[in-house]
């Protein structure tokens, strides 16, 4: 039996009077590569952001890597060191070079010496195919390059699991492939990954689980084959019709 990584029970999240998550209960195991799909505004991003405390939890329990996020005593900074996150808008620090972006967290948190961090960063850059960009400033990179640096930055902390929040949505189509390739490589290495995405092909090929959310609820949770070949819920059917038959 694979190790339990995330345990979510009856998670609710509201922004004021607007309830975005309406009671989500699910579990993720070590090595899971889960794609979360659904229409815009269905609460997928919010769901992801509750998992590293970027969004406060209104009610329910969320236990990540053994940390109870709803417990006010939990050190969120500690949790976040173990949960990497990649954003739609990359969010690289424009005042730092590529290398500095990657070594920033390990050095700030004194997890590594400067040399160690440096070597590790160069390794990661090699891994994402950007060895030559170490001293570049983020503004000189293309979108795809930026996102790969952002992945390297998250990996620099040696996270236990990775959250991807629509990592390719802001990219020009010809850049998407490079990023997905890096992610696929990561999945192969056994990284636990939760990916909010619209890349159905990627979901089908790489994920071992696909979750369909709409209206703040999980409507379907199954293997990619089942979700894409044999969708059960009418709204999933409707959604797939719209996304796949454009």
Partner 1 sequence: MKNKLLMLLTVFITLFSATIVKAEDKVVKIASDSTYAPFEFQDANKKYVGIDVDLMQKISEMNGWQLDQSFPGFQAALDQLNAGQTDGVIAGMSITDERKKVFDFSDSYYASSVVIASKKGNKISTYNQLKGKSVGVKNGTASQDFLSKNKAKYGYTIKTYDEGSQLYESLKVGTVDAIMDDEPVLRYAINQGQDFEINMSGEKIGDYGFAVKKGTHADLITGFNKALKELRNNGGYDAILNKYIKTETEKDIKPVKSDYRIVSDSLFAPFEFQNSSKKYVGIDVDLMQAIAKNQKFNITMDFVGFQTAIDQTQASHADGMIAGMSITDERKKVFDFSDPYFTANATIAVKSTTTNIKSYKDLKGKTVGVKNGTASQTFLDKNKDKYGYSVKVFDAADTMYESLNTGSIDAFMDDEPVVKYAILQGKKFATPLEPEKIGEYGFAVKKGTNPELLAMFNAGLAKLKANGEYDTIVEKYMGNTDSDDNKVDESTMIGIIKNNWQQLAKGLGYTLSLTIVSFILALIIGVIFGLFSVSPSKFLKGFTRVYVDLVRGVPLMVLAIFIFYGIPNLIESITGHSSPLNDYVAGVIALTLNASAYIAEIVRGGVNSVPIGQMEASRSLGISYVKTMRRVILPQAVKITIPSLVNQFIISLKDTTIISAIGLIELLQTGKIIVARNFQSFKVYGLIALIYLVVILSLTIFARRLERNMK
Nearer to partner 1, 108 or 115 (CB): 108
Binding to partner 1 (CB under 8 A) within 34-53 occurs at 52
Strands, E assignment, the chain: 4-15, 18-29, 33-37, 59-64, 67-68, 83-86, 161-165, 192-196, 209-214, 217-222
Q: How many whole angstroms separate alpha carbon 145 and alpha carbon 138?
A: 9
Residue 50 near residue 62, CB atoms below 8 Å: yes
Nearer to partner 1, 72 or 245 (CB): 72
181 to 220: interface string for partner 1, x by CB under 8 A: ----------------------------------------
Q: Is the dihedral of CA 135, 140, 142, 146 positive or negative?
A: positive
User: Is residue 157 part of the contact set for partner 1 (CB under 8 A)?
Assistant: yes
For partner 1, the binding residue among 17, 40, 73, 94 (CB under 8 A) is 94
Nearer to partner 1, 137 or 200 (CB): 137
Q: How many whole angstroms separate alpha carbon 143 and alpha carbon 229?
A: 33
Binding to partner 1 (CB under 8 A) within 55-84 occurs at 77-81, 83-84
User: Is residue 85 part of the contact set for partner 1 (CB under 8 A)?
Assistant: yes
Residue 82 sits at φ, ψ, to 5 deg, of -105, -5
User: Is residue 169 part of the contact set for partner 1 (CB under 8 A)?
Assistant: no
**Helix 143-155 crosses helix 173-188 at what angle (to 10 degrees)?**
20
100 to 139: interface string for partner 1, x by CB under 8 A: ----xx--xx------------------------------
């Amino acid at each position: 039996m694979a190790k339990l990584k995330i345990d979510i029970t009856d998670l609710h999240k509201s922004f004021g009077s607007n309830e975005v998550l309406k009671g989500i209960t699910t579990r993720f195991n070590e090595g899971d590569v889960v794609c979360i799909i659904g229409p815009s505004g269905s609460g997928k991003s919010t769901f992801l952001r509750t998992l590293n405390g970027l969004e406060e939890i209104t009610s329910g329990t969320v236990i990540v890597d053994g940390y109870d996020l709803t417990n006010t005593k939990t050190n969120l900074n500690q949790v976040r060191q173990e949960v990497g996150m990649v954003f739609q808008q990359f969010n690289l620090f424009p005042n730092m070079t590529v290398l500095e972006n990657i070594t920033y967290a390990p050095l700030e948190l004194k997890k590594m010496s400067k040399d160690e961090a440096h070597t590790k960063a160069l390794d990661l850059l090699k891994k994402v195919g950007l060895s030559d960009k170490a001293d570049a400033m983020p503004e000189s990179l293309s979108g795809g390059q930026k996102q790969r640096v952002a992945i390297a930055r998250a990996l620099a902390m040696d996270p236990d699991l990775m959250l991807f929040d629509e990592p390719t949505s802001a990219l020009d189509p010809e850049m998407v492939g490079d990023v997905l390739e890096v992610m696929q490589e990561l999945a192969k290495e056994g990284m636990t990954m939760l990916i909010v995405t619209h890349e159905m092909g990627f979901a089908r090929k790489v994920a071992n689980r696909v979750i369909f959310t709409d209206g703040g609820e999980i409507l379907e949770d199954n293997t990619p084959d089942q979700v894409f070949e044999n969708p059960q819920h009418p709204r999933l059917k409707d959604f797939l019709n719209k996304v796949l038959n454009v």
